[in-house]
Amino acid sequence: MPAGHLVTGVIDGKFEHGYLVTVNVGSTKLRGVLYHVPQETHAANNSASSEDLPSSRRSLRKGLRDPSHPKSNRSGYNFFFAEHYARLKPLYCGEEKAISKEIGQLWNNLTKSEKEFYEEKAMRDKERYRTEMLEYKKAKTIPLMASMIIIMSLRLMDLSA
């Protein structure tokens, strides 16, 4: 790749030792991983042990989640559950399934007007999530920092050589 091409991109995700990125080099769109391993960590531990690896795909996805990503909105039932779980936990020591079943029955026995209180909380939380996501998406589309562009340029030059 000749010097002087415009390189822009966005960070699609972040994980412990780097970033998932999409980079535009001229008219070519590249997707990849940009690693950043601190020198002291790299020198102390050259290979990851099996204990460090996630145990399932779900935990892998959770580990790759951007820590600045807004927390999802909660439903009315989620608010109801959290409120009653704290109250019932001491009564049903270690019986999580029984607590969940009891809360489900309590929810089903609520009148429409009683449920509205929790549904209003859910609507406010949904609005909070919507506004936080708009801000998050705006911040996410900011071009990559100059140092990342330089690193990607160097990697691309190595590939073309």
pTM: 0.50
Name every residue whose Cβ is closer than 8 Å to that of residue 36 and which is 6 or more positions away in sequence.
17, 18, 19
Separation between Cα atoms, residue 8 and residue 143, nearest integer Å: 6
Q: Is the pLDDT of residue 160 over 80?
A: no
Hey, where are the domains in the chain? Answer: 7-160
83-94 pLDDT, tens digit per residue, is 988 888 888 788
CATH topology of domain 7-160: DNA Binding (I), subunit A (1.10.30)
109-131 pLDDT, tens digit per residue, is 999 999 999 999 999 999 999 99
37-68 pLDDT, tens digit per residue, is 665 544 444 444 445 555 565 555 566 777 88
- Contact (Cβ atoms closer than 8 angstroms) between residue 24 and residue 39: no
- Contact (Cβ atoms closer than 8 angstroms) between residue 143 and residue 8: yes
